[in-house]
Structures are given as C-alpha cells and as structure tokens.
Structure 1
Amino acid sequence: MSRLRRLGGFVAALVCAAAARAESEVSFPSLDAPRGQAVVLKAYWHPVAAPKAPAIVLLHGCGGMHGRNGRPSERMRDYAQWLNGEGWHVLVVDSLTPRGERELCTQRNGERAITQTNRRLDAQAALQWLASRPEVDAKRLGLLGWSNGGSTVLAATNRKHRAVAAAAVQPSLAVAFYPGCESELRRGYEPVAPLLMLVGEADDWTPAAPCHRLAAGASQIEIEGYAGAYHGFDSGAPLRLRREVPNGVNPGQGVHVGGDAQAWAASRARLQKFLKAH
C-alpha cells in the first residue's frame, strides 16, 4: 500500500509539474476605462487538461503579484499549483503594474492611486475573460484574494454595487483571506455567491472583528478565524513587524505579518472543503 501511495504522489507531482509548464502570460482589457481607454491587464494563465473545468481568479494583496525575481510570488505559484491539482483552471491577475504601481502597502488608505473600484472592475473583467474560454465551465467560476485582494473579492461579490448586481457573468463562489471588511460592512453586504472568509484573530493590519460582523449580517457567508494568527498566516514566512506600513489597527506603529503553520494547514483544508462543496 505504501508503494501505491508513493506512486500516487509521484504521479500527482508529474501532473502539477506539467500544469506549471503550461503557464502562459495573457492580457485582456479591464472594465476600468479612464478617459474611455481601457486598462490592459496582465495575467498568468494556469490551465488544467480536463475539458470544461471550473476556473478561479487569484487577486493579489497590496504588495502586488510579483516576487523579487519579477515572476509571480511564491504564494501565487503555490496556490496556482495546488488549485490545478484540485482540478481548477487558474488566472492570476496583476492590477498594479499595468497602472504603473509596484505596491500599495506603504500608501495611506484614502491616498492610494489604485482603489477598490479599480480592482473590482479588474475582477469582473477577469470573470468575463474566463467565461469566454471554451475549456472553462462558465457556471463554476471563483474569486480568491488576499488582504487588499480579499477586499476586492468582497467588493466584486456585493450586490449593493449596481455594476455587480447587473453583471452578466457572476462567480459561483468566492474566498477572501484576511480582507479589510470595513468598507463593505458600512455599505451593507449582500453576496451574489457563497463566500468563505479566512481570518487571523490576532491580525493588526486588517482586523478580524469587522469581518465577523459582516458575516453575522448576511447569508451565504462562512467565516473561520484562527486564534493567535496574524496577517499573512498562510505562508512559511517568519513573523515580523512592518513599520513602514502606515495603516492598520494602530496607525504609525506598523503591522505584524507572518506565517502560522497550524492556521495555514487548517485554512488549506477548509478551502478544499469549500471548493468541493460548491
């Protein structure tokens, strides 16, 4: 039996490696069109071999899509590979560099050049692009985002936005890791699809409490909070204080960011369960 398990793991690794080799750069217009000229978005497309497979959009945080080597970050590559293994096409969308920005984390809230409206329009355009693909099951489309990208997930699934309610292409599910929930909480949140939020209870950047309140006031929302976990808990990075970040629970004092092995594993299992259920 152990030999069979090892063989299965080897085959799975080959499948994931093949999926990674199939990665390609794509571009498409955002629904964001300042002065009538659409922003042309850049993205990485990670398809699977199965016909008519579900597809999901990955939305980066305020640090952007790229790592130091100019390629998609380790988190994006890890999730794309894992989601491919779960049978999902993956589209990783870059909202920053097409607009001339590298990161938003050190910019104060309210002064950022790229807003949630911009990013919501990007997410909606990405869903339209997926729905147009012959290999995609347009009835099973998802949004998955982290931090600022998680807030984008909330904005792009809130029926209180007229453009979201009127959209011809809607997601069938949505997932937000440690999003900022205050804006959609103030607006009033009515999801167009089932939503899973995964939050760190010790998060001092995008606190968990507003997300719990948002979940309590709306249907179709599931939320999991991880005790002692900080922002960015789904990684192997050591916990550190980012003093250059001006926002957060204690403005001017920085925010804590870092991985939590237990929360990471639990959130991955919870994400898998949610995807299978929807």
Structure 2
Amino acid sequence: MRWRLAAALTGLLAGAAGAGAPAPQQVRFDSLDGTPLTASVFLPAGATRGAVVALHGCGGLYARHGERAGSLNARHQAMADLLLGQGYAVVFPDSLTPRGENELCTQRIASRRIGQFARRADALAALDWVAAQPWADPQRIALLGWSHGGSAVLAATDRARPPVRHHAVRPAVAIAFYPGCRTALYDGYQPSAPLVLMLAEHDDWTAPEPCIELGRVAAAEVHVFRDSFHDFDNPKGSVRLRRDVPNGVHPGRGVHAGPNPTARDQAYARVVEALARAFR
C-alpha cells in the first residue's frame, strides 16, 4: 500500500511540473469594500474543470528577492502548476499592494492596517468575478489560502457573519493551509462550505491546536502533517527561524518556517482529492 501511495504522489507531482508555467493574465475588479484589486489568472489549455481562488499569506503574492522577484513566489507558482495540471483555472487576488503594503509578516497584528474584514471582502469579490466569467461554472469554484490567507478562507466561509450568509456565490469547498484559527473558534465559526484544514505538527507561527478543535466543532476534514512547520508546502528553501516575525506562539522569540517535501506531496494529493470530490 505504501509503495502505491508513493508512486501515486510521484506521478501527481510529475504531472504538475510538466504543466509548465504560462504567464498569467492580469485582471482588475473591485473588492466589496471598494478597493480596486488586481489578480493573476491562470487558465488551463483545455476545458476548465473548475476554478480555485487562491489567497496569499502575510508575505504577499509576489517574490521580493532573487530570480522570481516581481513574479508569483515559489509556493504560489507551485500550486498554480499543480492545479493547471489538473485542468483547473486559478485566480490569485492581491490584497496588499493595492492597499500600499508589500507584506504584513513583520508587523504586529494589532498594528496591521489590513485585517480579515478586508481579506473577506476581497475573497467574496473574487468569487463573484470568477462566477461571472464565461469559462467558469459558479457551482464549481473552490477557495484556498495560506496562513493569513487561510484565515481569510475562514472569514469568507463563516455563515455566522451576515456578509457571508447573504452572499450569493459560495465555494464548493474551502481549503486552508496553516491558518490562524483562534478567532474563528471563539467567535462561533459556522462553515458555509466543506472545510479542509492542512496543518503543520510543529507550527509555532499559527498553532495547530485551535485548528484541530475548530475542525472538530465544524466537522471539517483535518490533516496534520508530521515533522512539519509553517510554510511546509514551499518548494524552495529550508526550515529557518524568522526572528523578524513579532507574532506567533511565543511573541518576540521568532517563528520557524520552511519546507517538508514529504508533507508537501501528501498535502498536494489531499488538495487534488478534495477538489475532485467537491466538483464531481
């Protein structure tokens, strides 16, 4: 059984790598709070099987250093390649640069100008924009996000909140990688879509325990990946201590972040399974 799973994962990632990296289209639409947004849109070569709205984390959508500077960072590009290889369109709205920010990670949470009200407004607007496109089926749209964007997935699928409860377009599935779950847990989160949580066992940036409890009360599908830290699905770099991050489980002591290739392979497989189940 193990060798079959390993072979399946290897084939899956080989397919993603073979999908290539076409240049995205750049589109504009307004957030529900009135902010003019930009988004990078990837369309598969053939018919679209569904669409995924992907929400960046506190580091923003783009790489700021190295050969990828100005382009999608490696984590986002890897997900785009994976989803394109499966026949899905992918839409990456940028919540930061239209509001004059490049990143939020080094800012204390209490001082950030961009919080989850804005991210929710952006996510709901992106769902509306995708639903109106000729290549999209409004019933076959997923919401996916990482960290701050994973928390935005929760904010945009909490039907306990009137903006979500009354919103016409709802995702068929919501997938959140290592979100901050404490607020959703204590505020009575009620999912408007099937929820899948991808968590890191040793995450000291956004602790997994509140998300595990949220998964229990919200009947979510929860995956905790062993020997992993925050950003475990990043295809580049190595685990390192980021002392420039003032938040986390131990404020002021920094946080660990970096890849675990085995966990990334497993999480990618779970993403593909969740989308196939939601869009069948």
Same-fold status (TM-score > 0.5): yes
Q: Distance in 2 between matches of 1:128 and 1:144?
A: 15
- Partner in structure 1 of residue 50 of structure 2: 54
> Does structure 2 conserve the Cα–Cα contact (< 8 Å) formed by 1:56 and 1:142?
yes
- Partner in structure 2 of residue 16 of structure 1: 19
Query: Residue 63 of structure 2 aligns to a residue in which SS?
Result: coil
> Does structure 1 conserve the Cα–Cα contact (< 8 Å) formed by 2:203 and 2:256?
yes
Aligned ranges 1:231-250 → 2 under 5 Å = 231-236=230-235, 237-250=237-250
Q: How far is 1:116 from its partner?
A: 0.4
Scaled by the length of structure 2, the TM-score of the pair is 0.89
What are the superposed Cα offsets for residues 38-61 of structure 1, whole Å, 9 maximum, x if unpaired? 211111110124445311111000
Q: Distance in 2 between matches of 1:117 and 1:229?
A: 29
Q: Distance in 2 between matches of 1:137 and 1:224?
A: 28
One-letter amino acid matched to 2:38? K
Query: Residue 163 of structure 2 aligns to a residue in which SS?
Result: helix
Q: How far is 1:15 from its partner?
A: 7.2
Scaled by the length of structure 1, the TM-score of the pair is 0.90
Q: Distance in 2 between matches of 1:227 and 1:23?
A: 34
- Partner in structure 2 of residue 138 of structure 1: 138
Query: Residue 259 of structure 2 aligns to a residue in which SS?
Result: coil
Q: How far is 1:67 from its partner?
A: 0.3
- Partner in structure 1 of residue 123 of structure 2: 123
> Does structure 1 conserve the Cα–Cα contact (< 8 Å) formed by 2:17 and 2:81?
no
Query: Residue 179 of structure 1 aligns to a residue in which SS?
Result: coil
Cα RMSD (Å):
1.8
Q: How far is 1:227 from its partner?
A: 2.1
> Does structure 2 conserve the Cα–Cα contact (< 8 Å) formed by 1:51 and 1:136?
no
- Partner in structure 2 of residue 183 of structure 1: 183
What are the superposed Cα offsets for residues 72-125 of structure 1, whole Å, 9 maximum, x if unpaired? 111111111110111111001110000000000011112111010000000000
Q: How far is 1:135 from its partner?
A: 0.7
> Highest Rg: 1 or 2?
1
Pick one of 39, 44, 50 that aligns with 2:40.
44
**Alpha-carbon spacing, 1:52–1:256, altered in 2? closer, same or farther (3 Å):** closer
**Alpha-carbon spacing, 1:108–1:248, altered in 2? closer, same or farther (3 Å):** same
Alignment partner of 1:63 is 2:66:
no
By relative contact order (CA 8 Å, sep 6+), the higher-ranking structure is 2
Q: How far is 1:13 from its partner?
A: 7.7
One-letter amino acid matched to 2:192? V
**Alpha-carbon spacing, 1:13–1:247, altered in 2? closer, same or farther (3 Å):** closer
Segments of 4+ moved more than 3 angstroms: 11-15, 49-53
- Partner in structure 2 of residue 230 of structure 1: 229
Which runs of 5 or more residues in structure 1 are unaligned? 1-7, 33-37
Query: Residue 274 of structure 1 aligns to a residue in which SS?
Result: helix
One-letter amino acid matched to 1:232? D
Q: How far is 1:274 from its partner?
A: 1.2
> Percent identity, aligned pairs only?
46
Which runs of 5 or more residues in structure 2 are unaligned? 1-10
**Alpha-carbon spacing, 1:96–1:174, altered in 2? closer, same or farther (3 Å):** same
Q: Distance in 2 between matches of 1:201 and 1:86?
A: 28
What are the superposed Cα offsets for residues 157-213 of structure 1, whole Å, 9 maximum, x if unpaired? 011111000001111111000000011111111111111100001000000000011
One-letter amino acid matched to 1:161? R
- Partner in structure 2 of residue 4 of structure 1: none
Q: Distance in 1 between matches of 2:107 and 2:171?
A: 30
Q: Distance in 2 between matches of 1:14 and 1:59?
A: 21
- Partner in structure 1 of residue 7 of structure 2: none
Q: How many corresponding residue pairs?
A: 262
Q: Distance in 1 between matches of 2:16 and 2:78?
A: 13
**Alpha-carbon spacing, 1:242–1:190, altered in 2? closer, same or farther (3 Å):** same
